[in-house]
């Protein structure tokens, strides 16, 4: 007998019908394991794992990753408050500068990373800035967290949640390893690299190889002195070569073209 198709709730059921009068006050952040307000890369070879173990849900190992630069701290803080409003307090704020974490210390769970700092000038040569570097870092960390057995939810800071996404997924879409928002920010795959969830990923499986190959490709582009190709429109270096969506699209395209090997 055929299994009936999964019935998802209509969009109208997921959106509020009235404005909520609730005001959510964020609790002060405690750091009993001394993993916050520091450079993840300077915290030892197990720094990322210790950070995740301290901040992830102890029951589900879910962990939300929100990235921000100095211009979007207030937006990121609103995103954290939004998470709290739907019952989620297991997150990390990944900043591009130490000064951001100093600014929000005790109020937001903040860390920064020097992972790609040696390539800052290389990124500038590619007509890319600090935010592009931060986006690359969040993809690399999401991959490494999935391999370590955590379930990262990458969430753009300007996202708005009306319900706990983990509850919605558990109720209506259980059994998958990759949940992603599709829109026109990507290329052929339509994957939005700023909003996705990796859950229970096999660390040796085909899916996670897309992200480990993302890291390999990113370092291959950055760790070379070869000049970047220029665009045909303005003659400037092509930043798409270090854009997270493009790199991840390439890995998925490779998986399709080479029978599972990205």
> DSSP letter string over 129-175?
-HHHHHHHHHHHHHHHHHHTT-EEEEE-TT---SS-HHHHHHHHSTT
The answer to whether 187 and 246 have CB atoms below 8 angstroms apart is yes
Which of 201, 243, 197 lies closest to 218, judged by CA? 243
What is the pTM assigned to this prediction? 0.88
What is the structure's pLDDT at 262? 46
Fold (CATH) for 28-201: Spore Coat Polysaccharide Biosynthesis Protein SpsA; Chain A (3.90.550)
Q: In this structure, are residues 156 and 183 in contact, taking their beta carbons and an 8 Å threshold? A: no
β partners of residue 180: 196
Q: What is the pLDDT of residue 143?
A: 95
Q: Return the pLDDT at 5.
A: 60
> What sign for the dihedral angle of Cα 179, 148, 57, 38?
negative
In the block, residue with structure tokens 């190709």: 229
pLDDT for 19: 63
**Along the chain (262 residues), what's the average pLDDT of each consecutive run of 10 residues?**
63 65 75 97 96 98 98 95 95 97 97 96 87 94 97 96 95 93 72 92 89 90 85 74 83 66 48
């Amino acid at each position: 007998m055929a299994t009936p198709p999964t019935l998802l709730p209509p969009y109208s059921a997921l959106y509020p019908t009235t404005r909520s009068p609730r005001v959510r006050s964020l609790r002060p952040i405690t750091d009993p394991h001394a993993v916050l307000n520091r450079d993840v890369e300077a915290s030892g070879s197990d720094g990322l794992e210790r950070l995740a173990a301290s901040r992830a849900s102890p029951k589900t190992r879910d962990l939300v990753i929100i990235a921000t630069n100095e211009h979007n701290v207030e937006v990121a803080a609103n995103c954290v408050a939004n998470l709290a409003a739907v019952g989620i307090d297991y997150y990390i704020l990944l900043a591009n500068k130490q000064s951001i974490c100093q600014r929000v210390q005790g109020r937001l769970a903040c860390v920064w990373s020097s992972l790609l700092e040696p390539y800052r000038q290389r990124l500038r040569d590619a007509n890319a800035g600090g935010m592009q570097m931060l986006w690359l870092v969040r993809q690399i960390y999401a991959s490494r967290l999935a391999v370590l057995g955590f379930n990262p939810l990458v969430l753009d800071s300007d996202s708005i949640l009306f319900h706990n996404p983990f509850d919605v997924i558990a109720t209506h879409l259980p059994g998958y390893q990759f949940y992603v928002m599709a829109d026109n920010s990507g290329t052929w795959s339509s994957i939005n690299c700023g909003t996705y969830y990796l859950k229970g990923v096999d660390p040796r499986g085909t899916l996670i190889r897309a992200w480990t190959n993302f890291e390999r490709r990113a370092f291959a582009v950055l760790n070379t002195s070869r000049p970047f190709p220029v665009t045909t429109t303005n003659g400037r270096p092509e930043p798409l070569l270090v854009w997270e969506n493009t790199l991840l699209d390439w890995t998925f395209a490779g998986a399709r073209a080479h029978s599972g090997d990205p």
